[in-house]
Amino acid sequence: MNDTLSKSAARLLEATAANIDLAGRIIEKNLDSVLSGSSATRDEPYRGATTVEEIFRFDSMKLLRYSGTAPVTCTTPLVLVPSLINRAYIMDLMPSATLAGHLREAGIQVYLLDWGTPGPQHDHLPFRFFVDDLIGMAVREACRDTGAKKASLLGYCMGGTMSLLHAALHPNRIERLIMLAAPVNFHDEGPLSAWARKDAFDVDTLVDVLGHADSAMLQSSFQLIKPFSGYQKWKNVFEGSLDAKAAESIVALESWLNDNVNVPGEAYRGYVKLCYHDNAIRNRRFDFDGIEIDLENLSIPVMNVMASKDHIVPIESSRCLSQLVSGPVTDLVIDAGHIGVVMGRKARGMFESVAKFHSTV
Amino acid sequence: MEALFQEYLKAGRDVQTFWENRIAQAMDEFAKSQTFVNTMTRSLEQSLDVRKMWETNLNRWAETFQVVTKRELDEINRRLYDQNAYLDKITTQLADIAGHVRAQTEAVTSGKTN
């Protein structure tokens, strides 16, 4: 252990010396640019409905603890893992539609892993860094905060796939896994699968040129999945007699939908290649950035929540999970769309099921 | 007359909804088609090529006039980020070592008192 430590320290010193040298050269060339700073490092307020407290921070990644009136009755902490593509506060969008708030009021100590706003300093980080290191830090801090030995993960969309990978890497640290509308089989009937397959999408050129996956590009591709839906949505809003609550809900949802972030380049490359190009997770045994993963070794209880009207992650894309892992899988299909599954009216019953599933640890 | 007019309006709306749904369905299908995928791929490749050419020229210009580029600033940001990651790992390792030492000390101390 001492040897590892001294090696890490030596590497750190070496990196520090190299950085000081590089910084010196850059400052010599142009002082103003260095002093103006990057917009990506600015702090942003949390935009969810429930009160939160920041208990850990690593650069722009934050671990937030939800406050609630109900006493905590469940000793295992639950960490919510959102997608890298969108903002984290969808898990806690409005007081009337908050998964995090509901779980907290059910006596669970809930934490949110907020990825923050990635900047160019994150572009070189591999997908595994997010899956292994950053989720690992969140789990570690949640356990430290509650005094528990293990934590449960609840992942939404891409966050669900990432949680599954993290649980497969560290099954001894995770108590239970809950996946909400999370893709597992990426070669499905949906348009995203057709657009992102190997022969249609050259992710290497994209990342090499831009350095990241641009939020505008991702947003427009999501809109193109159902090209006419934008028109139909606003027509319904115009024609329907909107009450104050519905209007509030639409404003909150639209604000979230248009509040996008760039995805760091190397992580995006890794994700697209692993999932959309190779569809590796479906094979059960696969190589994840040099580590052999066999999903059959994953024996923890899993709850897999799918949405019947999901046009981004079709049901067939998640349903096969029960055939891949060896632990018990509880499948739950609800009548909602991809976003409705996490904040819709029809998702309330599911919130109860998730709370019950987590609390029976 | 009023009833007839209302009926006429309703029929008009029904026809509009019918065609809107048909168009929506056709566009959804088109989004999945090979033609659409090919067009989108070509358009993406072309815009990336333009961006690449622009950046190459910009970098040459920056090199000539010795101006700091965003790429260089990004590089230093990346290195600082990596250092933070190393520091976090070292802190975790130190905390682990401290935990082991504490456990050992407790074991030794309790052994002595017994």
Cβ–Cβ under 8 Å, residues A200 and A221 = no
- Residue A318 reports pLDDT greater than 60: yes
Per-residue model confidence (pLDDT) at position A43: 66
CB pairs under 8 A between A and B: 117
Cβ–Cβ under 8 Å, residues A361 and A77 = no
* Crossing angle of helices A2-29 and B70-113, rounded to 10°: 150
- Residue A41 reports pLDDT greater than 60: no
CA of B32: which chain A residue's CA is closest? A191
| DSSP structural state of residue A71 | P
Looking at beta carbons, which residues of chain B come within 8 Å of A23?
76
Per-residue model confidence (pLDDT) at position A327: 93
Question: Out of A124, A201, A227, whose CB is closest to B78?
Answer: A124
How does residue A279 score in pLDDT terms, banded at 50, 70 and 90?
Answer: very high
Looking at beta carbons, which residues of chain A come within 8 Å of B20?
228, 231-232, 235
Three-class SS state of A185: coil
Per-residue model confidence (pLDDT) at position A32: 54
How does residue A22 score in pLDDT terms, banded at 50, 70 and 90?
Answer: low
Interface predicted TM-score (ipTM): 0.77
pLDDT tens by residue, B48-80:
999 999 989 998 998 888 888 888 888 888 888
How does residue A332 score in pLDDT terms, banded at 50, 70 and 90?
Answer: very high
CA distance A118 to A59: 9
Question: Out of A1, A38, A122, whose CB is closest to B97?
Answer: A1
What is the mean pLDDT of the segment spanning A273-301?
94
pLDDT tens by residue, A112-142:
999 999 988 899 999 999 999 999 999 999 9
How does residue A233 score in pLDDT terms, banded at 50, 70 and 90?
Answer: confident
If one compares B69 and A87, the residue with the highest pLDDT of the two is A87
Instruction: Classify strands A174-180 and A302-307 as parallel, antiparallel or unpaired.
Output: parallel
Residue A106 φ then ψ, to 5°: -85, 10
How does residue A251 score in pLDDT terms, banded at 50, 70 and 90?
Answer: confident
Per-residue model confidence (pLDDT) at position A14: 73
Per-residue model confidence (pLDDT) at position A7: 73
Cβ–Cβ under 8 Å, residues A156 and A318 = no
Q: Do B73 and A33 touch (CB under 8 A)?
A: yes
Looking at A199-213, A302-316, B73-87, which range is the least confident one?
B73-87
Per-residue model confidence (pLDDT) at position A39: 46
Mutate to test the interface with A, among B76, B84, B91, B101 (most CBs of A within 10 A): B76
How does residue A245 score in pLDDT terms, banded at 50, 70 and 90?
Answer: confident
Mutate to test the interface with B, among A121, A233, A266, A272 (most CBs of B within 10 A): A121
Per-residue model confidence (pLDDT) at position B63: 87
Per-residue model confidence (pLDDT) at position A137: 94
CA distance A51 to A46: 9
How does residue A345 score in pLDDT terms, banded at 50, 70 and 90?
Answer: confident
Cβ–Cβ under 8 Å, residues A118 and A212 = yes
